[in-house]
């Protein structure tokens, strides 16, 4: 596991790998504002132990990948009202980043696993570059259809809380946020959340980058009809109690992709609690092996 940089089109992507490069490649795509640290090292290693070359990376505007500091300020309120003109880029651009990273590290086609916004990016890669995707696992994500992409009031409040300016505030905010959006059916490891928040803040802190990613989601529209053309083995995983992207979004995603399997996990919210790791990894592995056959 060594952090490296790769040139992907016009930007640079920070990434790390687990396992043997000779094994089938599996890319992990993280969600809104979260660095690749959101993919726990133990989770990545367990996937590598199943026989995959696992790659986790920072999306643009997160972590050590390229940040678009010179872009116009993102106007989230206008985006919610339908005006996405302040978007610096779209999910299609972020999907191209993923393919650019694959090009840079010599991967023709990979298994894609994405959570939340990462699931949206993975879906977009499968739509735009079907020859580059072996299998797709979309976790706690959505098709982009507004009618099914709903949040509880409490989760919305977390999403639109003004970002703190200092390290302690960032850590405290992360702990509060995951108490709201995390899995109510499983134990909450607050210290693990705080530790990851401290690591993330020290590594890179860019609240405007989170805003630019948020605008990319809103500027990218509804993928439902395009997902009908996705024919690779697909698994959709969703928490029964997800308050941020509620369960109807997961059901809609599975319904949009022909032959997709849906795994609804009781007690799961909008996080990857260690309690569910074995079930999630089993699902990823089973889905990937369908394409390997």
Indicate the domain borders of the chain.
4-292
Which token pair is 186? 């499983």
Q: What average pLDDT does range 57-81 have in this prediction?
A: 93
Separation between Cα atoms, residue 10 and residue 12, nearest integer Å: 7
Q: What is the pLDDT of residues 238-267, one digit of tens each?
A: 999 999 999 999 999 999 999 999 999 999
Name which residue leads in pLDDT, 57 or 162: 57
What's the pTM value of the predicted model, to 2 decimals? 0.97
Per-residue pLDDT at 286 exceeds 90: yes
Q: What average pLDDT does range 122-133 have in this prediction?
A: 98
Identify the pLDDT of residue 200: 97
Identify the pLDDT of residue 293: 65
Separation between Cα atoms, residue 165 and residue 268, nearest integer Å: 30
**pLDDT tier at 292 (50, 70, 90 boundaries)?**
confident
CA nearest to 149, candidates 265, 253, 38, 262: 253
**How does the average pLDDT of the chain come out, rounded?**
96
Comparing 38-52, 68-82, 108-122, 164-178, which segment has the lowest mean pLDDT?
68-82
Q: What is the pLDDT of residues 183-198, one digit of tens each?
A: 999 999 999 999 999 9
Question: What does DSSP say about strands 4-8 and 133-139: parallel, antiparallel, or unpaired?
Answer: unpaired
**pLDDT tier at 1 (50, 70, 90 boundaries)?**
low
DSSP state of 198: H
Phi first, then psi: give them for residue 80, nearest 5 degrees: -65, -25
Identify the pLDDT of residue 113: 98
Span 4-292: which CATH code?
3.40.50.1820
Lateral strand order in the sheet of 11-18: 4-8, 11-18, 53-57, 25-29, 110-115, 133-139, 234-239, 261-265
CA nearest to 17, candidates 94, 96, 95, 110: 110
DSSP state of 243: S
Q: What average pLDDT does range 193-220 have in this prediction?
A: 96
């Amino acid at each position: 596991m060594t952090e490296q940089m790769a040139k992907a089109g016009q930007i640079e992507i920070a990434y790390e790998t687990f396992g043997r490069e000779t094994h089938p490649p599996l890319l992990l795509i993280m969600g809104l504002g979260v660095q690749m640290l959101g993919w726990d090292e133990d989770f990545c290693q367990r996937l590598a132990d199943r026989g995959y070359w696992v790659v986790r990376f920072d999306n643009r505007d997160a972590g050590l990948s390229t940040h678009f500091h010179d872009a116009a300020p993102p106007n989230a309120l206008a985006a919610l009202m339908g005006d996405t003109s302040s978007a610096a880029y779209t999910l299609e651009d972020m999907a191209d980043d993923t393919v650019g990273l694959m090009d840079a590290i010599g991967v023709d086609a990979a298994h894609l696993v994405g959570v939340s916004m990462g699931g949206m990016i993975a879906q977009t890669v499968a739509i735009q570059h079907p020859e580059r995707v072996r299998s797709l696992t979309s976790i706690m994500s959505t098709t982009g259809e507004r009618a099914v992409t709903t949040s509880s009031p409490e989760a919305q409040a977390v999403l639109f809380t003004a970002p703190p300016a200092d390290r302690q505030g960032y850590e405290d905010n992360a702990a509060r946020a995951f108490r709201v959006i995390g899995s109510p059916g499983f134990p909450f490891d607050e210290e693990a959340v705080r530790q990851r928040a401290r690591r993330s803040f020290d590594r890179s802190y860019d609240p405007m980058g989170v805003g630019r990613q948020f605008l990319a989601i809103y500027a990218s529209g509804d993928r439902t009809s395009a997902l009908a053309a996705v024919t690779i083995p697909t698994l959709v995983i969703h928490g029964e109690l997800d308050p941020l992207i509620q369960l109807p979004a997961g059901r809609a995603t599975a319904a949009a992709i022909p032959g997709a399997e849906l795994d609804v996990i009781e007690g799961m919210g909008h996080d990857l609690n260690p309690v569910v790791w074995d079930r999630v990894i089993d699902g990823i592995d089973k889905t990937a092996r369908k394409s390997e056959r």
